Structure 1
């Protein structure tokens, strides 16, 4: 492993995906009506997603800088996301769906291929049209997929800024951060606009990359940021400090000289597979074991999800990543 890659990002990606699965175990057991904004397990899941977005925000502008060609940029992004995502959708529809549906197989496939059903399927919100998880506390099929179009929108923002030459300016991300914070402050309680705040983590991550030569990372700065954040716990001001504390902490930790974590991803990056498969696997467990305890669900979620994520990486994602690494700009 070269010095260029001696960091802890692989571990942090795995941790982020794992925290999301952990958090969803509570939501899928209790139902969203019985959980609250500042419940500790909800914040853990949001922290996990924030970690993933910070890393993405930090590394995606770096990718553009290495090869500033929009065709190459988007081909690489698609190769990272699309193959694994498409296979996961097919697995949900043709493996999980038939065994977990309340409909007969004839009814299920009739519903599956109905144009009316497809209007509800693009990112898998409610599964009732297919008879999926209708008796579960939550009826979503793969709710985390809402983050993927958001992520792709952020890629578009980076590409447009790159084409316009804005990424060379140290303060280029500041207007995006300010506008997004303002939008969140105005409409954070309005679905689906409450999710706007997750864009902030990406933009701050990008800001940290663009200003990487100027920003110094110290443990006591991390401690001070979190102290300020928790002084305002149970208020919206907590999130404002988290917008700074989480990105700073993630990049600080990513660059710590922790030799064991530097090699964490030597067998592969399983975080994306965990992200796209965790929720439907958890829903399937709850479907067949409706009385399962939360801690049992947490255990079984990882027992089933991690092997599936490993298979996804070795059978699908790895081959796409190999093609991604060979892409060069057109002459």
Structure 2
């Protein structure tokens, strides 16, 4: 693998950023956005949706931020991990333990307790088991169990899991990059990422697993977020040459206003959101509140189920109360998930990877510095 080098201010140095806080805010923003669908009130809409005329909402921008940061940080992990098996191990142990436990809790506890049916009904439903194992494996997403939350505006048990499925597929693609030797050179991995972006943008329906064709296991939302993920990876490789500044933000806002009503408008909305996230995540304000515990994944996993629970407990609540109560529930569940499931598994993965499990490969000594600016 190529070695990472940094000069001066390194946005991806953990001591120089607080992306844990950024991702936590993003996960909470997703809850806020979903509250308008799960517990709607006429006349109340997401503030971003109101401004953009429904082109975007708080949750869509938050997910864009998630994928951009994930693309950068996961590629960083690929670059810095001496062997491919260690990279795969760390990715698997980061995603799957928390996901499996969440799916089990939602399927076999939340559904019968808050979904309007009893335990016997849920356990006897073949669709309940299918929901559990399909979502747990992140192979494909099942959204409903018949009869559960049947009186809610949305019957889905967890409408956020599509992005986890895509995330796993993108990890798989990066692992293939490593397997075929594309991660041994900075220039080669840049070409691979750029080619992937171009291919998805030109032929989104023809790309299996990352495209928008359901016949090849795609999804309408997959192509755009796969592109954002790969752009995040490119930014990691080029971040020594390109800095996000206040001027970047001002130019992005100007272009966003200029492109309103055009196909470029959603792109510029996403650009402004990502720029704000990077600037805030490296700001003095954010650095004053360091988070040692990364609760964002747990909040994201449990956010939608927490909102369905809140809808059952407070059926006439509007979106704001639903979001507030669900945030409290999701934060509590996320803290338990981090302490009991995610952190122990992450520590185990890092310990095994350090010992060379299941095998060790000598790292590349490639250390070329980036020379191409965005």
Deviates more, 1:304-313 or 1:163-172: 163-172
Q: Which residue of 2 aligns with 1:236?
A: 263
Structure 2 CA distance, aligned partners of 1:62 and 1:310? 26
TM-score if structure 1 supplies the norm length? 0.86
Matched, 1:19 2:26: no
C-alpha contact (below 8 Å) 1:173/1:203 kept by paired residues: yes
Query: SS state of the match for residue 60, structure 1?
Result: helix
Structure 2 CA distance, aligned partners of 1:287 and 1:324? 38
Q: Deviations over 1:98-127 (max 9, x none)?
A: 21233343222211xx2x554455236432
Among 294, 314, 317, the residue aligned to 1:292 = 317
Deviates more, 1:277-286 or 1:42-51: 42-51
C-alpha contact (below 8 Å) 1:84/1:312 kept by paired residues: yes
Deviates more, 1:67-76 or 1:145-154: 67-76
Q: State how 1:134-145 maps to structure 2 within 5 Å.
A: 134-145=150-161
Report how far residue 189 of structure 1 moved: 11
Deviates more, 1:141-150 or 1:89-98: 89-98
Deviates more, 1:320-329 or 1:294-303: 320-329
C-alpha contact (below 8 Å) 1:70/1:159 kept by paired residues: yes
Report how far residue 192 of structure 1 moved: 2.8
Report how far residue 185 of structure 1 moved: 9.8
Q: Which residue of 2 aligns with 1:264?
A: 290
Report how far residue 162 of structure 1 moved: 2.6
Q: State how 1:115-126 maps to structure 2 within 5 Å.
A: 116-121=127-132, 122-123=134-135, 125-126=142-143
Report how far residue 284 of structure 1 moved: 1.5
C-alpha contact (below 8 Å) 2:31/2:303 kept by paired residues: yes
Report how far residue 77 of structure 1 moved: 0.6
Among 84, 91, 96, the residue aligned to 1:70 = 84
Q: Which residue of 2 aligns with 1:127?
A: 144
C-alpha contact (below 8 Å) 2:97/2:345 kept by paired residues: yes
For structure 1, the 5+ residue unaligned runs are none
Matched, 1:223 2:223: no
C-alpha contact (below 8 Å) 1:20/1:48 kept by paired residues: yes
Q: Deviations over 1:202-233 (max 9, x none)?
A: 11100101112211322111210122123223
Q: Deviations over 1:148-205 (max 9, x none)?
A: 1210111122122233343421443222222223345999799832432111211110
Among 198, 203, 227, the residue aligned to 1:178 = 198
Structure 2 CA distance, aligned partners of 1:271 and 1:67? 23
C-alpha contact (below 8 Å) 1:277/1:308 kept by paired residues: yes
Report how far residue 24 of structure 1 moved: 0.8
Deviates more, 1:232-241 or 1:139-148: 232-241
Among 276, 281, 286, the residue aligned to 2:301 = 276
Number of residue-to-residue matches in the alignment:
322
Among 200, 209, 224, the residue aligned to 2:227 = 200
Matched, 1:94 2:98: no
For structure 2, the 5+ residue unaligned runs are 1-9, 136-140, 361-374
Structure 1 CA distance, aligned partners of 2:202 and 2:257? 22
- Quote the RMSD (CA, aligned, Å): 3.0
Among 6, 9, 28, the residue aligned to 2:38 = 28
Q: Which residue of 1 aligns with 2:372?
A: none
